[in-house]
Structure 1
Amino acid sequence: MLEVTESLLMTNIAVAQTWVESIRALGVCIYLDDFGTGYSSLSYLKRFPMDKVKIDKSFIRDLYIDKSDRALVEAIITMANSLGLKVVAEGVEDEQQLAILREIGCGFVQGYYFSRPITAAEFGPSMLRINADLAKSMSLCADSLQKTRV
């Protein structure tokens, strides 16, 4: 996976198109990073074969306070989904943001709510912790479903 910013694509659109297409031909997924900042031309989503759009954290920060941020995030998700693109919300820092993003159909999230940046040495133990937490959550969900069926 490779993340590119809109400003990188703007330097020379013809060269950038060729470059993006050649990278994708190698099997590398391309993410358009920090979408919504900078140039934010919708034509990028049409011209460049992207796999995912990453919504900039500046829109996520005040998601539950600022109605215009929520409206913009919903619009980006709807637009990207209609173009067959997946969406990642950057900068998720609390459960309330996560709940809103789930509610409006955001498929992927990242941010300090899940983990701060870690070193390579911390990666293995961190993945074990995350897997254990996920297994526990799945078990709790299964138990809850079982109880509602009885």
Structure 2
Amino acid sequence: MPITQIGGALVADDETLERAAEVTAEVASHGIAGVSINTVTGETLELDLHLSDFLLNVMAGLSNGSVSITGLPEEVTTTTAAEMLGISRPTLMKRIAANEIPGHKVGSHTRLRTEDVLRLREAEDAKRTQAFNKLRRIDEEFGALG
């Protein structure tokens, strides 16, 4: 059997792991537009890009050894939030003090809502993308002049 459930874990055989590696390598070389699932009734379900990407990441993780999947907690520590944002914990604490991201105390510890951290990360990713695109346009303009 290619995939077996043992307790709460799914275990894949070597052939399934090899195929997962092949598919993820193929997707890496061509990009992903989405994943479709064919049901036994003949219907085709189109998965959105986020879910398609999630499934391909699971397959990539499987092909590299093992995968652990868990949901995000409602709240995170400042250490976890800083890691999620790619900044240092002291920088995060300064941003909380400046009310750039809301935090609250649980005893003597600061906690942040995961939703707020993810929202800030998306906003900062969008700012970086805009800045990169602006630099690219400037580069193209000066490149066209020279």
Greater CA radius of gyration, 1 or 2? 2
| TM-score over 0.5 (shorter chain) | no
Which of the pair is proportionally richer in strand? 2
When the two structures are superposed, what TM-score results if normalisation uses the length of structure 1? 0.31
